[in-house]
Amino acid sequence: MSKKYKNNVIIEDNVVLKKRNDRVLELYDYLETRGFENYPKIESSDNNTIKTEYIESKKYHEVIKGVEFIKTVSMLHYKTIFYKDVSKNKYRKIYDKLYNNIEYLKKYYEDMISKIEEEIFMSPSHYLFARNYTAIDSSLKYASSTLKKWFKKVENKSKERVCIIHNNLSLDHFIRGDKNYLISFDNYLVDTPVLDLYKFYKKEGFKLDFNYLLNIYNENLSLLEEERMLLNILISIPPKIIDVENEYMNCINIKNAFNYIYSGMNIVN
């Protein structure tokens, strides 16, 4: 009997053992009724554990894996999509939350660049930040103006398009075996598909050709205009850069932040 441990699960004789999660069991039953079968099949379950089939992942170039991944995500969303009633208050809460975040970052970065510009000799990280500050300013202005347009479009809507979202998407939670599989559904929700796309973008999608992946996604499920606007807003909001005591790490953090910001600018423009 062979046994190994990987990512908090036990793999034993080509079966994956995980702690029982009734929500996931219910989800798998539901996905089956909707014709989505791109998840590991359950071999058996008891009061404590779930045993699912073990899928050996084939090796593919990252680009191919990204394409197959987004195809599978779009199919999950497409096959579980439906409309539900929504209160106008929900859209107002989303608007207020994003507006406050944008205004906070505007002030935060205005203060940051003001202090840096007063320095006689800038550190390498501060010089890097100052050289690229206009990208932050442009992104926040875009996010702010698009947010206002988005709210005007949705403020009187009474229906919202939702679906099953994985809520923890990453290439690590995708297996390309005899077919495509999504795994680790423990955090799934019923919500807008935008949430899945944004969280994946924020985690690692910005490192890929995300525009290309979005085009592939839209072949199965085209985002509505207000959904694409919301995704663009979220993508345009820059991460918060925090100074640390290590100058080398400051340079790395700022470089990574601007890679994220420039990637977002290429997507929304």
Q: How many CA atoms lie within 13 A of 66 on its CB side?
A: 19
Instruction: Write down the pLDDT at residue 1.
Output: 44
62 pLDDT band, cuts 50/70/90, is low
6 pLDDT band, cuts 50/70/90, is low
Higher pLDDT: 60 or 192? It is 192
Parallel, antiparallel, or unpaired: how do β-strands 42-45 and 49-53 relate?
antiparallel
Task: State pTM to two decimals.
Answer: 0.91
Burial pattern 153-181, b for ≥16 Cβ within 10 A else e, equals: ebeeeeebbbbbbbbbbebebbbbeeebb
DSSP state for residue 206 in the 8-state scheme = G
Residues above pLDDT 70, as percent of the chain: 94
Instruction: Write down the pLDDT at residue 2.
Output: 55
* Token pair recorded at residue 185: 């559904």
Interior angle at CA 58, CA 54 and CA 62, nearest 5 = 125
Instruction: Write down the pLDDT at residue 13.
Output: 63
- Compute the mean pLDDT over every residue in the chain, rounded to the nearest whole number: 91
pLDDT tens for each residue of 96-120: 999 999 999 999 999 999 999 999 9
Tokens 């875009």 correspond to what residue?
142
Tell whether the model's pLDDT for residue 95 goes beyond 90: yes
Give start and end residues of each alpha helix (H) in the chain: 22-33, 62-80, 88-117, 124-154, 193-203, 210-220, 225-236, 247-268
Residues above pLDDT 90, as percent of the chain: 77
Determine which helix (DSSP H) or strand (DSSP E) holds 82, and give its type and residue range.
strand 82-85
Higher pLDDT: 45 or 182? It is 182
